[in-house]
Homo-oligomer: A and B are copies of this chain.
Amino acid sequence: MNQLKRDRQFRPLPVPSVELQGLFGDRQDAICDSTAETLLDRCVEAGMLQAIDVTQPSPGVVIPIGPWGGTTQMFWDSDLGKSIETVAYSLYRRSNPQLEARVDEIIDMYEKLQDKDGYLNAWFQRVQPDRRWTNLRDHHELYCAGHLIEGAVAYYQATGKKKLLDIMSRYADYLITVFGHGPGQIPGYCGHEEVELALVKLARVTGEKKYLDLSKFFIDERGTEPHFFTDEAARDGRSAADFHQKTYEYGQAHLPVREQKKVVGHAVRAMYLYAGMADIATEYNDDTLTAALETLWDDLTTKQMYVTGGIGPAASNEGFTDYYDLPNESAYAETCASVGLVFWANRMLGRGPNRRYADIMEQALYNGAMAGLSLDGTRFFYENPLESAGKHHRWIWHHCPCCPPNIARLLASVGSYMYAIAEDEIAVHLYGESKARFDLAGAKVELSQQTRYPWDGAIHFDLTLDRPALFALSLRIPEWAEGATLSVNGEKLDLQSAVVDGYARIERDWKSGDKVDLSIPLTARKLFANPLVRQDAGRTALMRGPLVYCVEETDNGEGLNGITLSADVSQAKISEIAGLRGAVALDLPVSRDTADWGASLYRTSPPAAKQANARFVPYPFWDNREPGEMLVWVRAGEARGE
């Protein structure tokens, strides 16, 4: 055993190498059926094609466009980029020539739009051509480039068509000439991080290290003194103090990134930055970046994260506030922020499997992120509160449509988050019915995962190899999975000794026909929040496996805050919910405040309580039936007989 070196560079399995069924397969079908086309339709309705089409007049600044209350925006390109990326992933799963033709048309427009020098940005070519590179702090200029790069990489991998990848490579080559410390170069970086992680994707698909170097440049420069944003404002004749959020913390540019200890500012920006940093840490084996990221990871996950993996409680800065400030009803917890947390967590696995990251990746993916898309794939949450008085529902679209394509591209590519590959190791980070193909250790390996996870914890793997091969198969044992068992070809392994960093690492000569059985007991469990989270005091949240549960009015009637849960939840009655794609409901005895209170608002005697049954359903599936109240943190009664 342990003959192999522990290779510490893991990369996500490319999306086309994974076929999904089960829950994730169902989500991808919804995207193929509806979301992918919806995204393109809405982009058209919002005037984005007019914006990039050089044969049409410029759309102008700040005019209302489209039926969704949108206005012309500096970040059109990002919406188109993420939409292209989503369509690309959907094409992996299901061919759709019509959709593909629509994307080709958009790409042709971008080809015509691109400047001779390689520059490409709809806003700064079509609306404010004199403002190119004048305000990196506020204008999302490189952010747009990043999303188009991600779209280009995905579309090339999906279709083999290289046009957009070439366009974006030309643009990236131009960026390399523009940014740096040389004469006439800009020693800056974007206020909204994104291009950093995109350049890593471009480098990996093209094999060009120069793109990694540019990404590393942006990361290394961020927050250094003299401060680029301050100098830039002075050059542009602006007051450096007079801007939207009035603090460089908003874009994590208040300190050099390696000196940052606290997760601050705009949540999506923070996640994209940390994701890019983690990629660079992996690619350069940069321990200083990894050390900074570990500190930031703990800061986020032990002081600033909702139990759903939602992050960024405040609307005012779309981001972080104080430690332990996690209001439930007014939670912003933007879908994009949880998507970004999945990005970051996944990239923290680049230096080796570790459930410290993968458990949170799963929690954020299943709850804070996945909630963002309706079951039918047509509607989207922007905010993800943990309590609703009945008025919070998914949008058809949003005036700032960042979230719809973001959750769509994540779910459409989720296979690459499930499996990672190193030189001699396969890591299974997430479970779900699927087939994955790997090239490693000189063999072609197919790993077939048969399971009803997350509804049931029995997971069976069949391995098919074109020849026997020595490698490690690492399977995540979630921290919450008490009593998990593992066997290879029917022989039970001692999990205690097999587990490294929360992964059961099975290193052996694998051959075709090998079977692995993993059993993860999915016992419902109560969660309690640290007493410093004032909003959850005296309350409890229910989880089963990776899923957070909630109560909805459609099952339980109104007045959900009248519910008190004292029962031993491991005894919950389990059943499948009609109309929720086989999702598992948990039924439990509770006490409820009676409503026979009369006309008074306050009185000296407490409400009477009655015994009742309450149905808990998976949080990400809420608001897919009758609209109404929803609550995650129910009142906790004292345990009786537990």
Please determine whether A302 and B597 come into contact, CB atoms closer than 8 angstroms: no
Given A327-B329, A531-B559, A604-B526; A538-B635 close (CB under 8 Å): yes
Within 8 A of B (CB), among A517-531: 525-531
- Which positions 586-628 of chain A face chain B at CB distance < 8 Å? 593-595, 597, 599-607
Which residue of chain B has the shortest Cβ distance to A562 in the bound complex? B531
**How far is it, in angstroms, between the C-alpha of A531 and the C-alpha of B635 when the chains are bound?**
13
* 23 A-B pairs (CB sep. < 8 Å): A302-B599, A303-B601, A307-B602, A325-B389, A330-B330, A389-B534, A527-B603, A527-B604, A528-B605, A528-B606, A528-B607, A530-B597, A530-B600, A530-B602, A530-B603, A531-B559, A531-B597, A537-B562, A537-B593, A537-B635, A540-B606, A606-B636, A606-B639
How distant is the Cα of A534 from the Cα of B602 in the complex, in angstroms?
A: 13
Identify which of B298, B329, B532, B602 contacts A528 (C-beta below 8 A).
B602
Q: Mark A547-573, 1 if CB is under 8 A from B, else 0.
A: 000000000000111101000000000
**Does A305 sit at the interface, judged by CB under 8 A?**
yes
Query: For A607, what are the chain B residues with a Cβ–Cβ distance below 8 Å?
Result: 528, 531
Q: Is the CB of B529 within 8 A of A604?
A: no
Are A595 and B537 in touch, CB under 8 angstroms? no
Contacts of A532 in B (CB 8 A): 559, 595, 597
How far in angstroms is the closest Cβ of chain B from A434? 29
Q: Is A531's CB under 8 angstroms from B595's CB?
A: yes
Tell me the complex Cα distance, A325–B329, Å: 12
- Which residues in A have some Cβ–Cβ distance to B below 8 Å? 298, 301-303, 305, 307, 322, 325, 327, 329-330, 387, 389, 525-535, 537-538, 540-541, 559-562, 564, 593-595, 597, 599-607, 635-636, 639
Whether the pair B601, A528 counts as a contact (CB closer than 8 A) is: no
CA distance A514 to B434 in the complex (A): 93
> Quick one: closest B residue to A300, CB to CB?
B601
Q: Which of A325, A531, A604, A606 has the most chain B CB atoms inside 10 A of its CB?
A: A531
A529 to B561, CA, bound (A): 12
User: If the complex has contacts A301-B601, A537-B635, are A389 and B561 also in contact, measured as CB distance less than 8 A?
Assistant: no
Residues of B within 8 A of A594 (CB): 531
Using Cβ atoms and an 8 Å threshold, which residues of chain B touch A534? 387, 389, 559-561
Given A528-B606, A538-B564, A562-B537, A599 and B330 touching (CB < 8 A)?
no
- What 9 new A-B contacts, CB under 8 Å, besides A307-B602, A537-B635, A541-B602? A302-B601, A303-B601, A305-B601, A325-B389, A330-B330, A528-B606, A531-B561, A606-B636, A606-B639
With both beta carbons as reference points, the residue of chain B lying nearest to A327 in the complex is identified as B329
The residue that A538 contacts in the complex, of B305, B330, B561, with Cβ under 8 A, is B561
Nearest to A597 among chain B residues (CB) is: B530
Complexed CA–CA distance, A531 and B531 (Å): 24
Contact partners of A302 in chain B: CB under 8 A: 599-601
Chain B residues with CB under 8 Å of A639's CB are 606
Query: CA of A593 to CA of B538 in the docked complex: distance in angstroms?
Result: 9
Residue of B nearest to A529 (CB): B602
> How far is B305's CA from A607's CA once the two chains are assembled, in angstroms?
19
Q: Which 4 A-B pairs have the closest CB atoms?
A: A537-B561, A534-B561, A531-B593, A528-B606
Indicate the member of A532, A602, A607 with the most B CB atoms within 10 Å: A602
B-chain residues with CB within 8 Å of residue A597 when the two chains form the complex? 530-532
Please give the distance in Å from A302's CB to the nearest CB on chain B. Answer: 5
Q: Give chain B nearest CB distance to A135 CB in angstroms.
A: 24
**How many Å lie between the Cα of A602 and that of B531 in the bound state?**
9
A329: chain B residues within 8 A (beta carbon): 327
A455 to chain B, nearest CB (A): 21
Q: A526 — which chain B residues lie within 8 A by C-beta? A: 604, 606
**In the bound complex, what is the Cα–Cα distance between A194 and B526 (angstroms)?**
54
Q: Which residue of B lies closest to A387 (CB)?
A: B534
B525 x A604 contact (CB < 8 A): yes
> Nearest-CB distance from A566 to chain B (Å)?
11
Interchain CA distance A538-B325 in the complex, whole Å = 21
- Shortest distance in angstroms between A231's beta carbon and chain B's nearest beta carbon? 27
B-chain residues with CB within 8 Å of residue A389 when the two chains form the complex: 322, 325, 534
C-alpha gap A559/B560 in the complex (Å): 25
Could you say which residues of chain B place their CB within 8 Å of the CB of A535? 561
Cβ contact within 8 Å between B298 and A530: no
Please measure, in the bound complex, the distance between the C-alpha atom of A368 and the C-alpha atom of B540, giving whole angstroms.
32
Contact call B529/A601, Cβ cutoff below 8 A: yes
How many Å lie between the Cα of A322 and that of B390 in the bound state?
11
User: Which residues of B have CB within 8 Å of A605?
Assistant: 528
Closest CB in chain B relative to A446 CB, distance in Å:
37
> Which residues of B are found within 8 Å of A305, using beta-carbon distances?
601
Most chain B CB inside 10 Å of its own CB: which residue of A526, A606, A639: A606
Q: Which residues of B contact A541 (CB under 8 A)?
A: 602
Does A530 contact B601, Cβ atoms closer than 8 Å?
Answer: yes
CB distance from A386 to the nearest CB of B (A): 12
Whole-angstrom CA separation of A325 from B561 in the bound complex: 13
C-alpha spacing A606/B565, complex, angstroms: 13
Complex: A532 Cα to B598 Cα, angstroms: 11
Residues of B within 8 A of A530 (CB): 597, 600-603
Complex Cα–Cα for A401 and B249 (A): 31
CA distance in complex: A525, B606 (Å): 12
